[in-house]
Amino acid sequence: MGTFATTPNAGLTLDEYRKILRDNGIPDEVALKLYRALPTADEKASFPSGASASDPLALASAIPTTGWTTRYSVDFSALPALDIKTPGDGAVVIDGKTWQSLNMANATALDLDGSTGLVFDVANGTYDYGTRTAPYLYALITSLWSGYNVANHKLRVWAHFNYAPVNNWDSFMCMLERQGGVGGELMAGAIFRHNGSTVDEWALYHGSAGGASGFSAHTSHTTDDVVCIEQTERGIIVRSGTYAAGFPNIEDMNQHGHVTYDKSGDLLLGLEQANAVVSFSNFKDSGAPADATLVAFQLDSIG
């Protein structure tokens, strides 16, 4: 244990204070909170017996950390083979979690192949507001993590994929969605695709079925094979990066934009507890797109 000052920042610089607490396993964000201000009444009420503002280590132990926590992670390439198309539309259990498969009649095949991951082999169909004919998989956030509380938690959705689009509008999609509820349908996420000029690009999809929808595209960092969708109070941040024995550090990723839930209007309605989902699909405007493989997936939260 280190030797502590008798008040939260007496005679110590912030760096000195952080080092003392870091040496005792206390995160920097907690050290900063202690250094800047005395505890609130609510925090005092949660102190362990005998803790006070004059004991920084005990005080730190009483304040919850606020960093990102992984709630669920799966390597689809390590799972045994599973045919998802043949049983048709409905619930499918993957790695002990319940997903929903839709539009399986428009898939040539959709399966865990036992070696590379979750493979989408699509015959036809598209995916848009109110028009979803392409094969897709979705899971309720509460199915992936039972402790999810929409009022308390913000999310990061990570996907490691293998996709080489060939023709115009060949697309692989990772999306956070609100399926109905107040304000109707909401989509907020990213698509990696060929555009109408057969140029690879990242496309940020955001908005609701009411017409307040937006689409922004970037042609940079198109060799990246990881997408991360980070939920914010007003919308999402989309980043891409490279998988190397694990998902990349967030600070090393390439940011493609911060977009609001709704392109226009002032409601900015976000997710809801009962219908917040993550969705994956492979599609184009018409015909069969190049096959896509979802290799790994991770769900993080903060709050």
pLDDT: which is higher, 226 or 67? 226
Beta-bridge partner residues of 91: 100
For 228-273, write each residue's pLDDT tens digit: 999 998 889 999 999 999 999 999 999 998 888 876 555 677 889 9
Q: Could you tell me which residues are beta bridge partners of residue 227?
A: 159, 240
Task: Please write the tens of the pLDDT for every residue from 74-132.
Answer: 999 999 999 999 999 999 999 999 999 999 999 999 999 999 999 999 999 998 877 88
Tokens coding 220: 């940079």
Q: Which domains does the chain have, with CATH numbers?
A: 14-62 (no CATH), 69-302 (2.60.120.200)
Dump the DSSP string for 100-158.
Answer: EEE-GGGEEEEEE-SSS-EEEEE-S--EETTEE-S-EEEEEHHHH-TT--TTT-EEEEE
Q: Comparing 2-11, 110-119, 191-200, which segment has the lowest mean pLDDT?
A: 2-11
